[in-house]
Amino acid sequence: MKSLIKKAETLIEALPYIKEFSGKTIVIKYGGRAMVDSALKESFARDVVLMKFVGMHPVVVHGGGPQINVMLKQAGLKPIFRHGVRVTDQATMNVVKKVLGGTINKEIVSLIRRHGGRGVGLNGKDNTLISARPLTKKEWIKRIGTDKENESSQRSTAKVSESGYGLVGDVDRIDVKELNRLQESRFIPVIAPIAPDADGQVYNINADHVAGAIASALTAEKILMLTDVKGIRGVQDQRLAHLSRRDIKQLVKKGILTDGMLPKVHACLEALEGGVRKAHIIDGRVSHALLLEIFTDEGIGTEIVA
């Protein structure tokens, strides 16, 4: 009987959050180990479907870096990163399109459908959802706040200029008409971060940045970033449960936030500046991480507010 009462108490704790967020858009950046561990993939899909059935409008934007690296290796291509950006020539872009727009996107949609949701796969080309432009080194360095190189020790096959990233794009514009239509029809959009420019050239875009831009365009209630860390850590390596935009900027300035966390926090800040109410960085290695962060009083990650 005690275990049954405990389950009832959990539902009661979730009730005010269900009421508050019903009808609201929640953008989820799906990445890290949650995308490769079988049990976590199932957990993620169930969480997203539950969110939809209790009245929320989840929108999933996914990455796929580890899977791309595996496919590149199989194709005899060596990945290289400059300032944390995957340098992308045409051969690499072909792999990126196959992995992100094909294999991964279809798998996520299939998982959502298997658990009763109406998942639908998209990329930037669909109904001009995302318009891209080339990402410049100047813009990226400004965005992440450092020009420190973090380049692979392996020589790349990518033929691009020393200062450029090849076919790596930046978000130029988001057209949300299709997303709004899908949400009204009770679909769950699953978006691959690849998009064309005005001339039809397709670019590989950082998934964190795409998630932040879509959250801003939809004026989402929340954006949640799934990572492989327990939220943002402080000087004493403690989890920081609540931070403001000013706090984040100070942590970046002090060098506490570095490497792969920089694009995530920058995307969160852009989303907040674009009208999103809250941003969350959470540990996707925890089963049902989305539900624990959204529906419990304590949460499991770091909440960033304007």
User: pLDDT per residue over 28-48, tens digit each?
Assistant: 999 988 998 999 999 999 999
Q: For residue 99, what pLDDT is reported?
A: 95
Q: How many CA atoms lie within 13 A of 65 on its CB side?
A: 18
**Neighbour count for residue 24 (Cβ, 10 Å):** 16
Distance CA 98, CA 111 (A): 19
CATH fold of 20-305 reads Carbamate kinase (3.40.1160)
Query: Where does the pLDDT of residue 165 fall: very low under 50, low under 70, confident under 90, or very high at 90 and above?
Result: very high
Query: Where does the pLDDT of residue 206 fall: very low under 50, low under 70, confident under 90, or very high at 90 and above?
Result: very high
Of the candidates 123, 116, 60, 49, the one whose C-alpha atom is nearest the C-alpha of residue 291 is 49
More confident: 228 or 188: 188
Q: For residue 153, what pLDDT is reported?
A: 36
Overall average pLDDT of the 186-202 stretch: 96
Q: Which of 33-37, 82-86, 200-204, 225-229 shows the lowest mean pLDDT across its residues? A: 82-86
- Write down the mean pLDDT value for the chain: 89
Q: For residue 148, what pLDDT is reported?
A: 59
